[in-house]
Every structure is written in structure tokens, then in C-alpha cells.
A and B are shown apart, each in its own frame.
Chain A
Amino acid sequence: VTTVRFAVLLGAELRLVLRERLTWAVLAALVVSLCLAAWTGAGRVATERAALAQAAAETDRVVRDARAAHERYAEPSPIKVNYWQDPTDAFGYMTYFMAAYAVKPPTPLAAFAAGQSDVQPAIMRTSFGFSTVFDDTAYEPGSTARLRLGPFDLAFVLVYLVPLAVIALAGTRLSSEHDSGILRMIASQPVGPRRVASAKFGAVALVAIAAVLGGTALALVVSGGLRALEGWEGALALLAVALSAYVAFWVAACALVASLWRGGVAALAILVLAWACVTVALADRGHRREPAGAGPLLYRGGRRTDHFGLADRQGSGGLEPAGAGGGARDQAPRSRCVL
């Protein structure tokens, strides 16, 4: 009796896997999903970059407007110029002209995952004395449904849909052969069961890893989501290794379930429940920090006291007559009042 070499078995299994219609249907759906996700990611990054450009343009406009105002008001005129209309007044410039932005540009790999970028502000207009609300609480209101359901980005496809694709490819690979009696026939051949199982799941793992890495690369190229890496090559390589390990983990999970439970129904049910637990339930429990109700008392922190203190000092009777009379430039202290 001769033992078939593993490489031969693996090759035979690879041919079998690639001959199945289900394989190509699953891989096609996966690649389409990856392309769509990369397109949405590229669109999001482009929007973020456009917002940064708008902030820079706004900063330039402010300087232009201030120069124009200075030139206009430098001419002799009976018109009274209050400090908030006068860019040569330091306090007026700081509170009513100046636009300084703290920005957080997207990283070279930002197209992969929206992460927290849709809830944490990427641009903050820093305020100097005028704002009574913290700058870091600012956000852009928009569709709450989008935030609630989450973005359709590459992270979603790779973390949530890829395991489902692997389960579709490998979930019933051994158990269905057990159900149909083919496993009994294989057992009569001079090949050890471990070797057969390794070849079967190894073939699926190779196909799945190649499809996931190739599909992701293709999607990024087609969508234009990956620009100059700027020193992020190592991170990209680590990401590829992590993705391969993630796919291999789910193939191993399929193999484990196939070895512990007989029958395709039980295997599928257990794998999908395991997917739901690992990707949704455990991830959620592990990352919950602040319950929804812990907010209102936050405002009473120390920094807020400073803001209230400022308001109270301004409320002590130093209101500037705004809009009438002359000589407002040299008055102090100054309120933030504008007509």
C-alpha cells in the first residue's frame, strides 16, 4: 500500500475547490463587496481631504478679508469702527477675524476603515475667548442612521463578511462528505484522516487567502483608495499578515467544528453562531466603556468653571456700547457683543 503525498492531495483538493460553482459565486460576491467598500472608503477620504482644503482656504480668506478691512478703515472716515470690525485691534482680530484650525489629516491607510473618524471631529476651529462651548465637543451633525448601522468600508467586509465567505466555502466541507457517505469511501483509501482533512481545509485556506488579499489589493487599485504610503509599507504588510491569519483562523474553526460535530446542519448553525459571538457580541462587550447616561455631569468639570468665570466677569457691568457713539477702539474691558 502506498501513501499519497500531501502535495498531490492538496493539488487535487485545490482543483476540486476551484471547480465548484459555489466557490466562484462566493469569491465573486466577495470581490464585488471589497470593490464597493474600497470605493466608499476612497470617497470618505476624498471628502476629508476636501474639508482640510476648505479649512486652509478659509484661513487664507480671513487674512484677505482682514487686509481689505484694514485698508478700507485706514482711510479717514466719519464712520465709527468698533473693535470687532477692526482687524488691527488684537482682541477684535482674535475673536472676529482669525480662523485657526486644528486638523487631523487621514492616514495613508485611511481608506481601509472609517474607524472613529465619523464620530470624532477631524477639524476643530480653535476659539480664543469667544466660544463658551469646548472646541473638542464639536462635530458635524448628519445622518444618524449611517452612524448607527456603520459604514460599508473595507474593515466591515474583511472583519464581518470574509468569515461568512469562509464558512460558506469550508463550513460543510467534511461534514457534507460525511452526510453523503463519501467520507467512508475516502477512509477505505490508504490515506490518513488527518492528511485528508489538512489537504481539504488547506486548499480552502489557500484559495480564501489568495482571494481576500488579491481582492483587497484589486479593490484599492480600482478605487484609487491607496495613495503614496509615506512610510506605512510596514503597516500594510502587517495588515496583510493579520488578514491571512484571520482567514486561516476561520478555516481552522471550520475544521474544528467538522471534527467535533457530525452533520452539515449542526456545523453550519454552530459556525454562524460562533461568528455572531466573536465578531459582534464579544467585540461589543469588550469595548463598551461609557454608558449613554454619563453625560450631563461632565460639564461641571474644572474647565467649565473657567468658562463660567469668564462669563461672570464680563457680566460685572463692563458692557461696551456697541453700534452707537464713537471711540469704541480704546475701551476696556471688552465684551463679546456684536451688533
Chain B
Amino acid sequence: VRRLSAELARTARDARLRWIGAVLVLLLTVAGLGAWRDSTRYAGEVAQVADAERARWLGQDAKNPHSADHFGLWVFRPSAPLAVLDPGTEPYTGRMVRVEAHVFNDAVYRAIQDAGPLARFGFGSVADIVQLVVPLAAILLGFSAFAADRERGTLRLALGNGVPPGQLFASRFAALFVALAVVSGLPLFGIGALAVMNQDHAGWQVVPRLLTWVAAQLAYTAVFLLLAMLVSLVARTARGALAAALAVWALLCVAAPRLAVVGVDAVVPALSYREVRARIEAGFRSHRTAEANDARTRAVLARYGVGDPDELPVDLRGLMMSESEAHNFAVYDRELGAFFDSIAIQDRALAWAGLLSPRVALQALSQTLAGTDFAQHAHFVWAAEAYRRGISERMNAEIRDHPQRGGTTLVAGPDLWEEIPPFVLQPLPFARALADAGVPALILALWLGLPALLCRPLVRRLKP
């Protein structure tokens, strides 16, 4: 403990820590507060526009239920509370869906389409700063841990005084890690706390999410601190240690993540969305020919044992629309289900690609814990589709159960519109996030364990 306090005091006196700490705290605070402001505004807009849409739906004129189904409405995806820390996939996925008859619309209006061409290559978010700058800070603090002492000759003095090398390494690592935790972990925790206190977070289980998220970021920081100290144990000079550690950073944080994506795309390609949509269209085309329509009409009449639609106990048009929608739902489920599955498989492969770079593992882990991963987006898309189907089925049932004779058209009013509840999205539970986070967490643990294992023999054989 005395040695640890001495190392802590030495680290605290280091001018590098003050500079690095100031830059980190400044960057994290500016990015975090900016994201919090945007998030607060977005939440307000979502609430405002969702209310306006609800009022528009309820206030529509009396009309045929199927026309009301076409009238439709927009539903919106609320942002996850911890998107302030890690927006994850949210800027790259649509945030609103138009709900209407027949069509499984895409979620549209991606933030990235409004952003500049370089916005995604920088420190746009708190998570980007953690993934790129915090490792750099760990390297700049850790590269000289042994190499500089060796160069100055003070390592000989320290070892000559009988300090066990293992304890020296452990105390230095602990002191530097505490320093990094203070300058990066505390601001992260503060920004996260601010985000969750000021937003509606029902169903998000924000406290365990925030704690595990900050813990994952600190584990990532520890990986690079260990790597820098590993290089410092081996290098003869501080310059050599810094050059090697910076090369490792450029490789693992800058180049390898993009290479990992290229590899995953080549090995586990996702289905082409354009081809999926073409298959859906083909599925509908064969169903809507005049011949198919005629065959279905005759089948319905035969089922009820009548020869004229006016003799049916139900409205033929409503019944056929209902049955036709069931066919469309099955096509959507089959094709888009396969598409979303292929994206999920690719995401899992990318988590394994974290073996190439801890940044890739952290990115997968971080967005899963923050609730901003693709699984949450897919959940929103299918929830919006379930809502759409609920409206279509209710409207078609209204037509089916009120048969009209002699070519008249059923007209419904506000009573029917009010039967449709407002769209409320319940997020996927934290338990699901923990299950999805298993592989990236395991890989990050491997990244933590590997340099620690490599350090052990080097520390035992530490030479001044």
C-alpha cells in the first residue's frame, strides 16, 4: 500500500497527467454536453410530433376503414438514454416509420444522411473519444513506465533497493490506472448520470447499463495501459517504447477496425436489401394477378356455399383484404426476417472480429450495453410493423363484419379511430443486452489477459 501511495503521488506530480487529464476531461465534457443537449431536444421533438400524429389520427374525417388505414400515421423511435455516451447504430438507422396499409415501410431519416462526409471519421461522440483518444492517453502515460527509468538508470536504483519487480510493476500499473480512471471514468460516469436523470427512461434499467458501460470502457483503457507497459518493459529507450506503442495504437485503433469490417463483409456477407425487396415484390406480383384474384373469390364463395357476394354473411371485400394481408405478412416475415437475421449474424461475426482489434470488441460491447445496437433498431422496426398490422387487421375486420349491399361503402368515425392505441415502444430488456454482450465481453477479457500474461515473465526477468 505504501508503494502504491508513493507511485500515486509520483503520478500525480507528473505534468503529463495534468495535460492529458485536462485535454481528456475537456473533450469528454464538450462532446457529452453537446450530445446531451441534442438528445434532450430530440426527445422533446419526438414527444411533440408523436402527440401531433396521434391528434391527426384521431381527428381525421369519417371515412371507410380501409381509407383510414391508408391515411396512416408516423411512429418514432425514442433515443436510448445512454445514446448520449454511445449513439451506436442510431445515427445510421432510420428513426421514423410511416405506418399504412399494405406496405412494410423502411425506417427513414438517418442522422448520417444530414451530416458532413467526415463526421463519422472523427471524435463525434463520447464513445469515439474513449475508443481513440483514451488509448492514446494510456500510451502517453504508460510508455515511459520502465523504459525511461532504464534510460536514466533509476530502474537500476529501484531494483537495487530490493523492490520486487512484480510489486513495482503492479504498483505502477495500479497508479496509472487509477489516474486514467479519474480523468476518463469519472467524466463518463458524470455525463451518463446527467443523461439518465434528465430523460424518461422507463424500461431501460439505466443504472446497471451505466455501471457496466463505464466498467467496459475502463477495461478497454486497461488493455492499452498494459500494452504500453509491456512495450516499456521490452524497449531499451523511451523513444523506442513510444514509437512501438504508437504504432500498436495506429494499427489496433485506426487500421485494424476497418480491416475487420472488410474481412467480415467478405466472409459473412449480409443479404442484399435490394434483392430482398425484389423478392418481396415478386411474392406480391404472383398474388395480385386477375387470375389469382378470381380463384380466391371463387374459393371464398364456395367456402360459404353461395354464388353471389351479396349472399355472404360477411363483406367479401373485407374478408379478401384480410386474407390478402395475411399472405403479405407471411412474405414480409419470410424475406425481411431472413434479412434482419443476416444482419444479426454479421454483427455476431464482427464481435468475433474483435480478436483483431480491441476497439472492434469494445464498439460491439459498448453499443449493446448502451442500448443503441442493431438489435434495438430491429426491435423498433418489428414493433412498428406489429402496430401497423394491428391497425390493418382492425380496419379490415370492421369492413368484413359489416357487409354492405348494393355497392354502398361503409363509413366509420372517431369511435373506431380511438380503438387504436398510441404507439409505445418498450426497449429490449437489459438481460437480452447481457446475453448479446457475451462474445465481445469475452474478447475484451482476452485482450486484457493476453498482455497481462505476456508481462508476467518479462517482469520476472526485468533487467535495469
Stretch at the interface among A132-140, A188-196, A244-252: A132-140
- Decide: A268 and B239 in contact? CB cutoff 8 A: yes
Asked whether any CB of chain B lies closer than 8 Å to the CB of A147, the reply is yes
- Decide: A137 and B242 in contact? CB cutoff 8 A: no
Known: A133-B98, A142-B273, A337-B101. Is A315-B116 also a contact (CB below 8 A)?
A: no
Known: A145-B363, A296-B42, A296-B46. Is A288-B115 also a contact (CB below 8 A)?
A: yes
Partner of B320 from the list A54, A287, A319, A339 (CB cut-off 8 Å) is A339
Number of A-B residue pairs, CB cutoff 8 Å, is 307
Asked whether any CB of chain A lies closer than 8 Å to the CB of B14, the reply is no
Q: How far is the CA of A244 from the CA of B102 in the complex (A)?
A: 56
In the complex, how many angstroms separate the beta carbon of A118 from the nearest chain B beta carbon? 9
Q: How far is the CA of A79 from the CA of B290 in the complex (A)?
A: 7
Known: A147-B112, A299-B49, A322-B321. Is A54-B274 also a contact (CB below 8 A)?
A: yes
Known: A143-B261, A296-B46. Is A338-B317 also a contact (CB below 8 A)?
A: no
Partner of B79 from the list A273, A293, A324 (CB cut-off 8 Å) is A293
Partner of A150 from the list B35, B121, B274, B377 (CB cut-off 8 Å) is B121
Residue of A nearest to B143 (CB): A265
Residue of A nearest to B68 (CB): A315
- Decide: B242 and A269 in contact? CB cutoff 8 A: yes
Q: How far is the CA of A272 from the CA of B117 in the complex (A)?
A: 23
- Decide: A265 and B346 in contact? CB cutoff 8 A: no
Cβ contacts under 8 Å, A172 to chain B: 239, 243
Contact flags B262-297 to A (C-beta < 8 A → 1, else 0): 101100001011100010000001001111011011
- Decide: A284 and B288 in contact? CB cutoff 8 A: no
Residue of A nearest to B83 (CB): A292
- Decide: B363 and A148 in contact? CB cutoff 8 A: yes
In the complex, how many angstroms separate the beta carbon of A64 from the nearest chain B beta carbon? 12
- Decide: B261 and A84 in contact? CB cutoff 8 A: no
Asked whether any CB of chain B lies closer than 8 Å to the CB of A60, the reply is no
Stretch at the interface among B89-97, B186-194, B213-221, B428-436: B89-97
Stretch at the interface among A160-168, A214-222, A232-240: A160-168
Contact flags A152-165 to B (C-beta < 8 A → 1, else 0): 10001000110010
Asked whether any CB of chain B lies closer than 8 Å to the CB of A291, the reply is yes
Stretch at the interface among A104-112, A202-210, A275-283: A275-283
- Decide: B110 and A288 in contact? CB cutoff 8 A: no
Partner of B120 from the list A54, A147, A311, A314 (CB cut-off 8 Å) is A147
Stretch at the interface among B70-78, B202-210, B223-231: B70-78
- Decide: A311 and B38 in contact? CB cutoff 8 A: no
**A interface residues, Cβ below 8 angstroms from B:** 33, 36, 40, 51, 54, 58, 65, 69, 73, 79-82, 84-86, 96, 115-116, 119-120, 123, 132-134, 137-152, 156, 160-161, 164, 168, 172, 176, 179, 263-265, 268-269, 272-273, 276, 280-281, 283-300, 308, 311-312, 314-319, 321-325, 335-339
**B interface residues, Cβ below 8 angstroms from A:** 34-35, 38-39, 41-43, 45-46, 48-49, 52, 56, 60-61, 63-64, 66-68, 70-72, 74, 76, 79, 87-96, 98, 100-103, 105-106, 108-124, 132-133, 136, 140, 144, 238-239, 242-243, 246-247, 250, 254-255, 257-262, 264-265, 270, 272-274, 278, 285, 288-291, 293-294, 296-297, 309, 316-317, 320-321, 324, 339, 343, 346-347, 350, 360, 363-364, 374, 377, 407, 409, 411
